[in-house]
Chain A
Amino acid sequence: MKYISEFRRSELAGGLISHIRHRSKTRARFMEFCGGHTVTIFRYGIRQVLPETIEMVSGPGCPICVTANADLDKAIALAKVPGVIIATFGDMIKVPGSRSSLQKAKAEGAEVRTVYSTMDALKAAEDNPDKPVVFLGIGFETTAPTVAASILQAEEKGIKNYYVLSLHKLCPPVIRTLLDAGEVKLGGLVCPGHVSTIIGSHPWEFIASEYGIPCVVSGFEPLDILQCVDMLVGQVEKGESKVEIAYRRGVRPEGNRQALKLMEQVFEPAPARWRGIGEVAGSGLKLKSKYRRFDAEARFNIEPGPTIEPAGCICGDILRGVKTPSDCPLFAKTCTPESPVGPCMVSTEGSCSAYYSYGEGLGG
């Protein structure tokens, strides 16, 4: 497919690998923030072709993985409200909350529908005017504008039974929190590609200027990742720290102004809870008062009960990049993709799922 297959060409990958190996002299640890990048790195065996000087660690960039149990419990409690239809992206269904999951709630009679797009959720609301349809707003800056657009469409079409549970998360504030915690020392950051498509490359400047960490925005094909690593190595060897874009076909420095405009029209920053990290100021989005009638939390009085974390699960440490899945006593034993204990094993972009699927840390 155009603009995909060209960026998988092995002879160009070979050139980049030689270039990286040739010029990388200094030991450096690079974090790929985004779960999509983690998947590309594992699928194409990129860790194995990098020189010993470069260590790759996975970050918290999987919206499903970082959704706190308390928020997951809210979604499950909403699903149990009689008459409510829950519309959600697929991976959320299997994530275990404190006492149940959306999948279990569905088996017990709740109406939980998997949708590909907010457009499908809106359609469900139009087709079922007597039932409230709640879309689970889970995602980063890439997804939030599409949810904002759905609310504006609902307003335009006069759809009165469409609601959003806004659990969106913003990436730059949580990266600052991780860097301030100082648990993981980073020599470079592979900045998320499609988050940057929306917000541009400027919001990463503070990482380069205040923390002295090289930043390169990457795409999702293997050549994109290799080019990004090559550019990070270039900065490391020159002792520079700046923000560069390796994914120029998909990211402009200023981002997508229209998407930002719609997002800012509907949402405003709010505190958000991240699994393993805790509450981070300004890292979430809530509906502005003008759009409060679309807010599921305002419409329904949800009492999900006390939060219980899964015993023995170290997803939180893995999301902060301080442990790897193979450090977890549950990994590939009691926790597998068929029977996941924590969200990092459920989501296809979770570190545990990537390690499991590509045989990393399984021994033997």
Chain B
Amino acid sequence: MKNDVFTFLVGGKAGEGVKKAGSVVAHIFSRMGRYVFQMDDYMSLIRGGHNFSVVSTSTRWISSQYMNANLIVNFDKRSSQVHNNDIAENGIVVFNSDEQEDVEGIGIPLSSEADKYTMKKLMYGVGAVAILASTIGFKKSEMNDIIKNEYPSGIEDNIKFADTIYDLVKNECENKFPLEKGDKERVIITGNESISLGAVAGGLNAYYGYPMTPASTILHFLARHAKEFGLAVVHAENELAVINMAIGSAFSGAKSMVGTSGGGFALMTEGFSLAGMTEAPVLVVLSQRPGPATGVPTYTEQADLSFALTAGHGDFLRIVASPGTIEDAYYLASEMLELVWKFQTPGILLTEKHLSESSMTVEINVEDAKWAEPKLHQGGEYKRYLNTEDGVSPLLFPPSKEIIKWDSYEHNEHGITTEDAQTIQFMHNKRGKKINALIDYLKNKTTVNITQGEHPLNIFSYGSTYMSVLEALKYGKINPTVIQPIYLNPLPIWELEKFKDQKNIVVEQSFTGQFSNLLKEKAGIPIKAIIKKYDGRPFDPIELYTRIKEVAE
């Protein structure tokens, strides 16, 4: 099957600039007006091992990397071995002839050339960019402009090295894959950047985090931009501190967010429950990686869904939603911040490493972000937990002459601890009203993305797997109906009911099929087949298309 996608793959050891080379190449494509999707695969180590970056590009919207690459640059022998089967028909493999001989492809003495420079192995990435530049028909001058911008330290050496590599591969690579220009240049961002910006657009004032892959880059990005956005960004001692600081900040009136992965969120569940009881608006970004326990830190999975839906002890409203694309992550982060403040309850923006850390060309309508605006006390005697029609009590922040008491014990409307039977029941009912209020509110919103197809088949997915599904269908040129619930709690059964009597399949990245179970149990959706993947890697569109075709027949 002919593919309208060009894919570049570069692999080597950590510390050799693999990811940077991928990013530079992605920018070359985006500057050509093309769409880009970049996925970085890296191990949990600082130096050595095997890392690779895959950049797929097309003149149409593209939402996944393809492992089937047209150009592969291997910095070392291990990379050659790992990516031995990843080469597309008529593709080019460039390998490091200082490390191996007798392999198919174009051998260049990458190590001995790089050793001539003080930066040594740090030059490899520059070499990879030079190879790509030659392959897509860039002139040296065009390439050197890019090298200057993207590798600003030691420019002269970098250009000299790039020129050398360019000349070495020229005969076999030059203009082998001329790429069509696209319509316009677009910005490339990661999912975590999109989430961060969406939260800021929604009114974020404080972010708390403890480093944990794949959520750490939210902490880094917001720390870097804290001053310009007027944020407090804090790296605390552990996740227990993180969630409790966020709740304390919410009490003072700050729109607060925290970010972590499964293990960190496990520690946060105590505070998550406190947010349920105190009715503290707090947004948690839970970026999944393979579990249980430490699992596989730098890879992807969707096995924390059940955990997220029931996290924290006790009965309380947890809003859980998951963005399907890197663009949607921006809007959803702002909307989730809006909702946790509107309904004064904790929420989880559930995502995965694959969305958090992959990057793609996006077009974001910045002003479409929601803005968190709580219901505020309008004067008179203040009761923190005033019983209202929708269960949402007006907020008031210190300093105030009125007394504002938030309480982790069951409490009366004033926020004073109680053990009285009637009051306990009364307050459960009061908080419980927020569930229906939220459902009523969401009924007028987009809670499920449904793309009506012609093929008599419905494909359900959520989170980043939605991007994989869309790309697989584009690759295979088939169009079943695609359904992506954005909200997972409350699950929008009012939108899903119509699929009850149809042929449904689910694509998800969990061993037990947690998403399928949710659809079955909560929405009564019969599921004909589940396409699962639980090896830590995101779906490849070709592989996924093949599996969809199998179950569709």
| A and B are interacting partners | no
